[in-house]
Structure 1
């Protein structure tokens, strides 16, 4: 450990007219085995006063770049056959940083091409790779350049690659980054699209980690990257909230108080559910984090913030209940189930009421309904698409994720089918329920109550009602009731395909629910025209109503048939699966590798209570080996999910941790005779 602190010097005494700055630092080097040293570098700038944040950051950037220079130097000495995943990530970081080589670019070279050429010449491993594949520098330069252009189709194998083909393949990375929520998903699509890149990945273990790092840095830097995702998500959410509040005001001032109250209740429930999620996510953490998240929700930009976190690859925060990707999904689902879906239904009812009162068809109102339905369908499709193309989920659960085809054209078509599936389902359900509401609200309430009650009974009979969230007691019951209610509404009105999973709706229940939703739509239309009503008060003639409901249903059927034909047929079985949540969790623990087994702890304890003894025996037998090997999933956060009796020797108390921390600080002070720059407290 090297510790550096500022000292006073007689040659440069303190003066009243000059501010003295200090820059204490510490570098800790830890051996991690043959050929590996972990380096940690901590700096604590004290400029002796207040400075603009941008100036402070610029100084920190140059200081922390010191570590990158050290890493780059030692990496440049390693041969290609010594590279592993960490080397790939390191090369990825180096590729996106400007270098001195750009100052000496050759005629006709771009800055990025000069940078890549300089790195290929300097790094022994890259130089060896360039000698084996002469086109590799062209590929890297096009990837790092990150210019959006139409992606070409290159089906050539690795041994048939050329500089021209490498240029086309490398240039396609930008479009993949723009089309996916996360960098790993973009890289996965890119590798699956081009066979030669798949061969490179199988040959070099560092290839994908390098590309993941490059794609992540590019996503953060380009204008259509993280900022676009943040501004688009936040903008749409805020605009949706503003338009809803405007409609509440419009209805309230035009004598439609009940409609205004209904819409305001929907908006309030959506906000309330998001605040409940904030409470569950932050209840065990610092209060300032909870306050910050509450402000995000109340401002209406929560979906945009959550989307940016997922795109950044943010990890699950300490004390959180679920990971960022799931938090984003639940936020989107709350907006759809409590605001978009009932809002669309309310707009259709309001339109029919105006027609019943003899008013002309409002094209603006009709357009608003269609746009709202398309937006909801797009959100529903995005949820399912983002989950399925996630490389980590495809790797961990190949039997469930991976139904979306690998070809770019097929992906575009299946995504369009998913959008129209959700849009048409929402429209046909809204029209049919609006017709039923015209007969009387008691018909609507009776149908919804009986339909929801039947679903709840089904879950209880299968002993699969409580949700998988790691909650216990009454909290688990309350959250499960809300979650099952939201999932049922979403499947009924939008058909979110992700919810066919055994831990949510279940495949067989999902398919049956869709069939029953369309059947109910035809029954509702029949009830409307069989009801004892004056013909002159009906919204439309019977033939027109059947044409609308039948046409929307036929359109959905065609889109869904197209979806089935495009998806990988091995996944058709997931639409009729009867697996329960317990069977799903138990299946994870029965996998051979420890990483899959470790995931049982993120589910509620009651789900794996029948196999608790087996889980305990597994942890007790392997704990010592994990402490030596340090697998990536073996973290303090994972350990906190376990009961004390599952940890050999029990859990170290916080008092013991504080005592150990003070002993370490005292030892540092005596050894170096300086004030330590490490601070230990209850939180770390």
Structure 2
């Protein structure tokens, strides 16, 4: 680890806090990981204007190949006009006279230390930003639940029992699914831990607990199914599918047809939409910035650029995208339901039929989770329905992944939304002007200009925001929004890629066998050739989890199988398999 030169430390004293320096010295591994993450090298012209320690005015351009985020940070934060610079005049002269980073390090002894400190400062800012965002999302989620409970009380007080029961059902469905996640995650960690985690769900503080664990970097507990970050994302998806989206639909319909056209009702709808949008944006944002995801699938993850400001812009754009999608879709479906629930159900049935037909025609029906047989069919249908529903109503960007909807179908979902919304608006107006609609005596009847202006405004903002979003992300990832790549094609393509490392290729056994059955023999030949090589070299990634992921039937020689079935591995295998029949192993 680079040490901090005394002269550099002295000059940085007013900029870098003491606790930051202590954190730097304490956590070398984390710091180096953050620095590596920031090393996206480009050749660029960076204008610098500032005053040196001797009072010399500097106004010049420097062409350098260096860590972009760190370099920009140094010259926009540490060397701003009107503040003392951290480098002397000779050092500034040397820095601007160089072309490559190696030259900078060789001829400027303080640069390496400065680079480390600036990297640490950026990493610290990123962690603070993540903490604020996650905790805000947790508070918003809890507040949404409270407003839903209030609306249940309001519906009961006005004898609108159907709306109250529907809202309660969505709340209880969310609680039930989250309790299921908690049981699966903690069933091997003792009764006390399990009960405590269940209490978090029952008292509606689970979002805050999950967020705090991710912010604090809590490691995955031995015996748990997944890490805290994935657990948080699963809980968020459960909340979207069972509470936030249904709540928006129920309350929108109740507002149009019930007795509660109050400010509180409007506020509750807005909170539900904002909560769902924030959750949707957060899931996609966290998945894209996840290092493991970027390493595993670099052709898909990485569309969010480096830099605090641009990340903030991307997240805000993702939030607006989801909010507009949900507001327009919920409003339109509520309008359609005023005419008849059958109209909305018929639309959804046709939409799902087209989607499943598309997946079947492309032989991409099976979900990636490695479950086979009847259980696998059920899991695939369930997750396809969840992914499709959440994308329809929130435009969740993560579900453009080939394992889910895929880029082309995701694009179709966005493009078809205006037509669906305007159709439901038109159907509503036809109904309220008909004899049947007049006889119904609805408490609220919208005029055509209100319907079309409302839907049109949301769609216009949506379109402008999508265009802005595409200009802020890394441009090479735009193709993922219309790609026709299927889940099977991606999995096979990843494996046959000659540049892909073994530690990534072996993850094919963590995917459903149907995703790669076309190259099964090639996969088996490869793994049986590699097992003795890995046993001999013992790479760091060749651990119990990776060994346990290889099913018995994939290993052709009994000696090889015994070599990867130690006591520790067998325990992992037992935890991974609920039964041999369910997983299709053996």
Q: What residue in structure 2 maps to residue 425 of structure 1?
A: 325
Q: What residue in structure 2 maps to residue 572 of structure 1?
A: 478
3-state SS, counterpart of residue 562 of structure 2: coil
Q: What residue in structure 2 maps to residue 460 of structure 1?
A: 360
Q: What residue in structure 1 maps to residue 338 of structure 2?
A: 438
Q: How far off is 1:560 after superposition?
A: 1.0
Q: How far off is 1:269 after superposition?
A: 1.3
How far apart are the structure 2 equivalents of 1:289 and 1:311? 20
Distance 1:165 1:300, change over 3 A: closer
Q: How far off is 1:300 after superposition?
A: 2.4
Distance 1:315 1:611, change over 3 A: farther
Is the 8 Å Cα contact of residues 588 and 599 (structure 1) preserved in structure 2? no
Q: What residue in structure 2 maps to residue 325 of structure 1?
A: 229
Is the 8 Å Cα contact of residues 229 and 304 (structure 1) preserved in structure 2? no
Give 1:305's match in structure 2, choosing from 200, 209, 212.
Answer: 209
- Structure with bigger RCO (C-alpha 8 Å, 6+ apart): 2
Q: What residue in structure 2 maps to residue 548 of structure 1?
A: 454
The answer to whether structure 1 residue 615 and structure 2 residue 519 are counterparts is no
Q: Greater CA deviation, 107-116 or 316-325?
A: 107-116
Q: What residue in structure 1 maps to residue 502 of structure 2?
A: 594
Structure of greater Rg: 1
**Post-superposition CA distance 1:628-668 (Å, at most 9, x none):** 433332111111111235455323799x849xxxxxxxxxx
Q: What residue in structure 2 maps to residue 241 of structure 1?
A: 145
3-state SS, counterpart of residue 637 of structure 1: helix
Q: What residue in structure 2 maps to residue 347 of structure 1?
A: 251
The answer to whether structure 1 residue 639 and structure 2 residue 539 are counterparts is no
The answer to whether structure 1 residue 498 and structure 2 residue 498 are counterparts is no
Q: How far off is 1:390 after superposition?
A: 2.9
Distance 1:279 1:529, change over 3 A: same
Distance 1:598 1:303, change over 3 A: farther
How far apart are the structure 2 equivalents of 1:497 and 1:432? 22
How far apart are the structure 1 equivalents of 2:537 and 2:67? 40
Distance 1:212 1:401, change over 3 A: farther
Is the 8 Å Cα contact of residues 277 and 320 (structure 2) preserved in structure 1? yes
Q: How far off is 1:504 after superposition?
A: 1.0
Report the count of equivalent residues. Answer: 497
Aligned-CA RMSD value = 4.4
Superposed, which structure 2 residues align to 1:45-60 within 5 Å? none
Q: What residue in structure 2 maps to residue 58 of structure 1?
A: none
Distance 1:466 1:109, change over 3 A: closer
Q: What residue in structure 1 maps to residue 419 of structure 2?
A: 519
3-state SS, counterpart of residue 400 of structure 1: coil
Distance 1:578 1:364, change over 3 A: same
How far apart are the structure 2 equivalents of 1:332 and 1:317? 20
Superposed, which structure 2 residues align to 1:156-175 within 5 Å? 157=64, 166=74
Q: What residue in structure 2 maps to residue 334 of structure 1?
A: 238
Q: How far off is 1:523 after superposition?
A: 0.8
3-state SS, counterpart of residue 300 of structure 1: coil
**Post-superposition CA distance 1:267-314 (Å, at most 9, x none):** 111122223333444567766655444333333233333333333445
Distance 1:415 1:217, change over 3 A: closer
Q: How far off is 1:491 after superposition?
A: 0.9
Distance 1:312 1:212, change over 3 A: farther
TM-score (norm 1): 0.63
Distance 1:157 1:613, change over 3 A: same
Give 1:651's match in structure 2, choosing from 558, 562, 584.
Answer: 562
Give 1:530's match in structure 2, choosing from 430, 454, 465.
Answer: 430
Gaps of 5+ in 1: 1-86, 96-100, 124-153, 173-195, 659-681
How far apart are the structure 1 equivalents of 2:229 and 2:404? 16
3-state SS, counterpart of residue 267 of structure 1: helix
3-state SS, counterpart of residue 561 of structure 2: coil
Q: What residue in structure 2 maps to residue 134 of structure 1?
A: none
How far apart are the structure 1 equivalents of 2:411 and 2:420? 14
Q: How far off is 1:377 after superposition?
A: 1.6
Give 1:451's match in structure 2, choosing from 339, 351, 354.
Answer: 351
Is the 8 Å Cα contact of residues 387 and 404 (structure 2) preserved in structure 1? yes
